[in-house]
Structure 1
Amino acid sequence: MEAIQQHTIAYPVMEHFYTLQGEGFYQGQAAYFIRLGGCDVGCVWCDVKDSWDASRHPQMPVSEIVAAAATHPGRIAVVTGGEPLMHDLTALSDALHKAGFRVHIETSGSSPMSGSLDWVTLSPKKFKAPLEENLRHASELKIVVFNKSDFKWAEEYAQHMSPECKLYLQPEWSKRDQMTPLIIDYIQQHPQWQLSLQTHKYINIP
């Protein structure tokens, strides 16, 4: 039955590639990224707006996704988007686990959790808030700082995280020159937070 599911269940895949994780706790580690199409959040500063319309991207069977990932030695698979939780990730996460992968996800948390996930990067957006029940699943909270008011917004979310959840502040890329010094100063005053940078953009890797 599992083999049949892997060949019949498919996801709209915008792109998939082997790279280094650029942000957060696993920054610098080898990872296979699986970017699923479909998003109902619509961030104005999104850098992958082509991912929003799921119908624009080919349906890729689970077996093909996992086979492509398994050609590389790294065993972290990062499911991202778009908003990946718009899809039921059970079949994909189960197949990746069977192939020996850790399954990570990058999500706004605006749709119900699904699948078996080893690491959840929750990056809430003001355009569509995360579901309250998703907050407890976060392994790391990543707040994208676009303006000064986002520090207060970040603290409001931090109050709802588990004690084990890592707390990150990340400058929005187009405002990194203005926001990064403010984030550094804020973390020095509030050391429970850590700095996350989009290092993949600085060194020009996917």
Structure 2
Amino acid sequence: MTTKYKINELFETIQGEGAFTGQPSIFLRLQGCPVGCSWCDTKHTWEINLSDEVDQQVMINKTAESDHWAALTSEDILAIFNRQGFQAKHIVITGGEPCMVDLTPLCTVFEAQGYSCQIETSGTFEIQTTENCWVTVSPKVNMKGGYKILTSAMQRANEIKHPVATEQHIDDLKALLVDHAVTAKPIYLQPISQKERATQLAIKTCIENNWRLSIQVHKYIGIE
């Protein structure tokens, strides 16, 4: 049976975070996330209600955030890329929490068509994807949902992108790196909500630890 994915949004933009900052990208936002981050800026993707299912054209034409989603196959998604005239060859699969489902079939189809794939995940679900897919783990520690960070996710990550606002967040990250034996991976600190105090803390900590800064460029320049 062909897998259908619950898609909340599908759009072309510039990646504003992490290693691919500045890369033209197609964002594929999946519906559903039980992690419960208090600062989440996509809370409309948390719940999966069958009453919120819409057809693909309604989903594509959304002009505001909503919890409406469309069930699409990988072939449906590729057809939308072509109809929309998307030029980007990098696909960012995000959410919600995309790793609630097996993304291997989806990424396999995309890669066969010449796309590169990137997954952005909280690290609280097993990551099922292709070998070549770039995995960004943004570990969410002690969130309302009660999910634990998985060693398998931290080990699979190509980059760690950690949201920070306080010293406790820095301590949490350092403990994660030790507990899950993470070495030789790019570490990005991302200030929560672009607040000045968080940004200064991230800059200071990056310099002290030879880590990298991710400042959500898309929010500063006003694009999606």
Q: TM-score, normalised by structure 2?
A: 0.83
* Corresponding position: 1:25 with 2:40: no
Q: Residue type of the partner of 2:114?
A: G
2:81 aligned with 1:69: yes
Matched with 2:5 is 11
Write the distance in 1 (CA, Å) between the matches of 2:182 and 2:87.
32
Give the Cα separation in 2 of the matches to 1:164 and 1:95. Answer: 30
Q: 1:106 aligns with which of 110, 114, 120?
A: 120
CA–CA separation in structure 1 for the residues paired with 2:126 and 2:97: 11
Helix, strand or coil for the counterpart of 1:93? Answer: helix
Aligned-CA RMSD value: 1.6
Q: How many residues align?
A: 198
State, as a whole percentage, how many aligned pairs show the same letter.
36
1:91 corresponds to which of 77, 98, 105? 105
* Cα contact 2:116–2:133 (8 A) shared by 1: yes
Residue type matched to 1:59 in 2? A
Give 5+ residue unaligned stretches, structure 2: 53-68
2:156 to 132, 137, 161: 137
The letter of the residue matching 2:161 is K
Q: What aligned pairs does 1:166-181 form with structure 2 within 5 A after superposition?
A: 166-173=186-193, 176-181=195-200
Distance 2:201 2:192 in 1: 12
Shift of 1:39: 0.5
Report what 2:48 is aligned to: 54
TM-score (norm 1): 0.90
CA distance in 1, matches of 2:174, 2:136: 17
Structure 2 CA distance for partners of 1:102 and 1:161, relative to 1, 3 Å: farther
Structure-2 separation of matches of 1:166 and 1:13: 29
Give the superposition deviation at 1:73: 2.2
Match for 2:6: what amino acid?
P
* Alignment counterpart, residue 140 of structure 2, candidates 114, 120, 125: 125
- 1:80 is the counterpart of 2:94: yes
Q: CA deviation at 1:11?
A: 0.7
Which amino acid in the other structure matches residue 188 of structure 1?
I
Q: 1:132 to 1:162 in 2, by over 3 A?
A: closer
The secondary structure found in structure 2 opposite 1:136 is helix
